[in-house]
Amino acid sequence: MSPAVGFQDATAIAGIAQTPFAKHLEPSEAELACRVIVDACADAGIEPSEIDALCSYTMEATEEVDIARNVGCGEITFFSQIGYGGGAGCGVVGHAALAVASGQAEVAVAWRSRKRGSGPRPWTSTSVQLRVPGAWTRPFGLLRPVDEIAMLTRRYMHEYGATREHLANVAMAVRKHANMNPAAFMHDRPMSHDDYMNARWVSEPLCLFDNCLETDGALACVVVSAERARDLRHPPVYVHAFAQGLPPQHQTMVNFFNDDPLTGPAWACARRLWANAAFGPKDVHVAQIYDAFTPLILLSLEGYGFCERGEAAGFTENGNLEWGRGSLPVNTAGGGLSEAYVHGFNLINEGVRQLRGTSTAQVEEAETCLVTSGEGVPTSALLLRR
Amino acid sequence: MTNAAAFSGGYVANLGPSEEGYLLPAVDEESVFFWEGTRLGELRIQKCSSCGKLRHPPRPMCPSCHSTERGWTRVGTTGTIWSFVVPHPPLLQPYSDRAPYNVVLVTLDEHPTIRFIGNLVDGPEGELDEVDPTTIRIGEPVEAVFKRFRRVDGSEEFLPFWVRRS
């Protein structure tokens, strides 16, 4: 596989911003989006009128025309949206970087604004989801994303001898990092091993603490050329490599209909990502791995090559995912499990903070960070470096 | 969801839930042969009329030979539990009334990469929660039975459920 031409380190994330994270925020998603985009521009030291590219999720409710009219953009010359919910986040930033690297735009903004904490749960909609593939799964009571991922989790445990102890390792590591982060929803809520083991079931073998939060919040970042980033307020965080992944015969969330359901989009995405990079998994100092559910971290650790297939459970042992202890601190702001669930965009901003040296669980001398989006759906990933 | 709609073609039936409120499949042009089969107690899998490869769930084009000529073949109803989950609330009604219940993923013995989501029950009239979930094991041999559901408009669908093979 040949690397992407002219992309490596050609762009940088120059500004980031986020709203508070809460179960309920008063302002509308539109207002939150506008505020956070203006704040991200201010963080970079760039006027919103300079924005000429807008990238977001197909599930994003705030549209480009509204953003541009509200924050006072000039002429927008690149706009794109990426589908598949939590699989989109890194792709959105990646498209922003592609737009800048290829000369289609100069100041690209990526964002996500979502009131998932106070809004409806998407799985409660019954009208449109009984087509393919829902027609084959939902009538039998496989209703929610957690049920779908629990199905893969049980099989994973069966094949590789993983246990709830390993899922607890993931949940507790991420919670520990949230406890260090005043902006995290779970900042004041430590989680003991007993807390995890005694939590109520949601879909066996997954319990409450294997599930992400339900959050209102918004985040944004600003991507410019590496050259321009060097003249701005913060040290540049370079977009070293980017990839998306949609493997053969994949089915979103219910990836049960291919030859090997336990190798999902992460594997396809990783092959392209590492082909595009000048370094490999062993050179990654800190990782932000999409964690709508704890087992997605196990699958992603294997998919992105931090360990071999079936070894991710062992990889979580002895605090190996924890700041200050492990070889690969993961989700150092608390992730979707314990900081906020905003379709993974908070993982991107935390990756930037780690490479600026401003994380609340700062990995010393961190020079490289992997950020991933949802496993189990068509996905994406970013390799950031300072 | 727009993509899914585009690949579902026209709807033959999409007439809402069962009388009890269970979700029922939207029967479309691609899948109508399957739901006609379950009425007769048959499991039918889409088969490429050109190269003969099976594919499931059904779709317009064969990913191997690109033919859109499609038929189906009747397959054996025996399978093996590949995985299972036990959902707890919050769930939709009436599923929440039956929770905790089991949902199994079954691989067909004749075609191990063709899989079905279903429920392990004691017989064709079975309810989602009648098998004790703590007794279910990956690898258990099972066989399809076909449970009748009546939609609120009076039409019927037969869904594949699974019983243990002794």
Using an 8 Å Cβ cutoff, are A299 and A312 in contact? Answer: yes
Using an 8 Å Cβ cutoff, are A118 and A25 in contact? Answer: yes
Neighbours of B76 (CB within 10 A): 12
* Number of CB pairs, chain A paired with chain B, less than 8 A apart: 126
- Among residues A204, A215, A116, A114, the alpha carbon closest in space to that of A164 is found at A204
B135 vs A contacts (CB less than 8 Å): none
The gap from C-alpha A294 to its chain's centroid, in whole angstroms, comes to 13
Write down the pTM of the prediction: 0.96
Q: For residues A310-318, give the mean pLDDT.
A: 98
Is A256 touching B (CB cutoff 8 A)? yes
- Which residue type, as a one-letter code, is found at position A315? F
Residues of A labelled catalytic: 290, 341
Interface probe with B: pick from A59, A132, A207, A211, most Cβ of B within 10 Å: A132
Is B6 touching A (CB cutoff 8 A)? no
Q: What are phi and psi of A294, to 5 degrees?
A: -55, -40
Q: Is the pLDDT of residue B3 over 50?
A: no
Q: Is the pLDDT of residue B112 over 90?
A: yes
CA A94, A352, A102: angle at the middle one, nearest 5?
Answer: 30
Tell me what pLDDT residue B19 has: 93
Tokens of B66: 């690109």
- Among residues A156, A248, A243, A172, the alpha carbon closest in space to that of A205 is found at A156
Which of the four CATH numbers 3.40.190.80, 3.90.1150.10, 3.40.47.10, 3.30.420.40 does domain A11-119+212-385 have? Answer: 3.40.47.10
Using an 8 Å Cβ cutoff, are A180 and A362 in contact? Answer: no
Query: Within a 13 Å sphere around the CA of A218, how many CA atoms are in the beta-carbon half?
Result: 28
Q: For residues A141-164, give the mean pLDDT.
A: 97
Task: Tell me which residues of chain B, numbers 66 to 95, contact chain A at a CB-CB cutoff of 8 Å.
Answer: 82-88, 91-92, 95
* pLDDT band of B2, cuts 50, 70, 90: very low
Task: Tell me which residues of chain B, numbers 97 to 126, contact chain A at a CB-CB cutoff of 8 Å.
Answer: 98, 100-101, 103, 105, 113-119
CB contact under 8 A, B87 and A203: yes
Rounded CA separation A255/A253 (Å): 6
> Is 0.90 exceeded by the ipTM?
yes
Tell me what pLDDT residue A261 has: 95
Is A144 touching B (CB cutoff 8 A)? yes
pLDDT tens digits, one per residue of A317-361:
999 999 999 999 999 999 999 999 999 999 999 999 999 999 999
Is A1 touching B (CB cutoff 8 A)? no
Using an 8 Å Cβ cutoff, are A82 and A59 in contact? Answer: no
Q: For residues A81-85, give the mean pLDDT.
A: 96
CB contact under 8 A, A144 and B87: yes
Is B150 touching A (CB cutoff 8 A)? no
